[in-house]
Amino acid sequence: MGFARTCAVALVGVEGVVVEVQADLEPGVAAFTLVGLPDKSLTESKDRVRAAVVNSGSAWPQKKLTVGLSPASVPKGGSGFDLAVACAVLGAAERIDPRVLSDIVMIGELGLDGRVRPVRGVLPAVLAAADAGYEQVVVPECAAAEASLVPGISVLGVRSLRQLIAVLTDEPVPEEDPDEQGRPDPLMAGLRMPGTGAATGMHSMGAAQHDHELADVVGQHSARTAVEVAAAGGHHLFLEGPPGAGKTMLAERLPAILPRLTKGESLEVTAVHSVAGLLPPGKPLVDIAPYCAPHHSATMQALVGGGQGIARPGAVSLAHRGVLFLDETPEFGSQALDALRQPLEAGHVVIARSAGVVRFPARFLMVLAANPCPCGRFSQRDDLCECPPSMIRRYQARLSGPLLDRVDLRVEVDRVTRSELTERGARGESTETVADRVRAARERAAARLADTPWRTNSEVPGRELRSRWYASLGAMDEAERSLERGALTARGLDRVLRVAWTVADLVGHDRPGATDVALALQLRTGVPRGVPMAIGALS
Summarize pLDDT for 223-237 with one digit per residue, the tens: 999 999 999 999 999
Per-residue pLDDT at 82 exceeds 50: yes
Sign of CA dihedral 331, 334, 339, 345: positive
Phi then psi dihedrals of residue 141, to 5 deg = -60, -40
How big is the CA angle at 246 (ends 231 and 260), to the nearest 5 degrees?
25
For residue 52, the 8-state DSSP code is H
State pLDDT tens for residues 32-51.
Answer: 999 998 988 899 999 999 99
Yes or no: say if 188 and 118 are a contact pair by the CB < 8 Å rule: yes
Spell out the residues 6+ positions from residue 209 whose beta carbon is closer than 8 angstroms to its own.
Answer: 203, 253, 255, 256, 288, 291
Burial annotation 239-262 (CB, 10 A radius, 16+ → b, else e): bbbbeebbbbbbbbbbbbbbbebe
- Reduce the DSSP state of residue 470 to 3 states and report it: coil
Range of lowest pLDDT (160-174, 322-336, 498-512, 517-531): 517-531
Give the mean model confidence (pLDDT) for residues 348-369: 88
- Reduce the DSSP state of residue 528 to 3 states and report it: coil
Yes or no: say if 456 and 462 are a contact pair by the CB < 8 Å rule: no
Whether the bond between 172 and the residue before it is cis, its omega within 30 degrees of 0, is no
Yes or no: say if 32 and 24 are a contact pair by the CB < 8 Å rule: no
Which H or E element spans position 4? strand 2-12
Q: How confident is the model at residue 203 (pLDDT cuts 50, 70, 90)?
A: low
Which H or E element spans position 399? none
Phi then psi dihedrals of residue 65, to 5 deg = -115, 130
| pLDDT confidence of residue 317 | 94
Kind of pairing, strands 237-240 and 365-370? parallel
Tell me how far apart the alpha carbons of residues 260 and 532 are, in angstroms, rounded to a whole number: 29
How big is the CA angle at 230 (ends 227 and 236), to the nearest 5 degrees?
110
Yes or no: say if 345 and 388 are a contact pair by the CB < 8 Å rule: no
Kind of pairing, strands 202-203 and 237-240? unpaired
pLDDT, averaged across the chain: 87
Q: How confident is the model at residue 199 (pLDDT cuts 50, 70, 90)?
A: very low
Per-residue pLDDT at 147 exceeds 90: yes
| C-alpha separations of 181 from 111, 116, 159, 184 in Å | 21, 20, 17, 8
- Given strand 202-203, what is the order of strands in its sheet? 202-203, 291-292, 323-326, 365-370, 237-240, 409-412
Q: How confident is the model at residue 201 (pLDDT cuts 50, 70, 90)?
A: low
DSSP-assigned states of every residue in 268-331: HHHHHHHHHTB--TT-----S--EE---TT--HHHHH-B-SSS-B--HHHHTTTSEEEETTGGG
Helices (DSSP H) in 155-306: which residue ranges?
161-168, 221-233, 247-257, 263-276, 300-304
| pLDDT confidence of residue 149 | 93
Phi then psi dihedrals of residue 176, to 5 deg = -90, 145
Give the mean model confidence (pLDDT) for residues 362-379: 90
| pLDDT confidence of residue 181 | 46
| pLDDT confidence of residue 426 | 60
Give the mean model confidence (pLDDT) for residues 295-314: 86
Listed residue (134, 180, 138) closest to 163, CA to CA:
138
Tell me how far apart the alpha carbons of residues 191 and 122 are, in angstroms, rounded to a whole number: 9
* Highest mean pLDDT (candidates 132-136, 310-314, 371-375): 132-136
End-to-end CA distance of the chain: 79
State pLDDT tens for residues 61-75.
Answer: 999 999 999 998 888
**Is residue 173 classed exposed, middle or buried when 0-12, 13-18 and 19+ CB atoms within 10 A define those classes?**
middle
Tell me how far apart the alpha carbons of residues 474 and 465 are, in angstroms, rounded to a whole number: 15
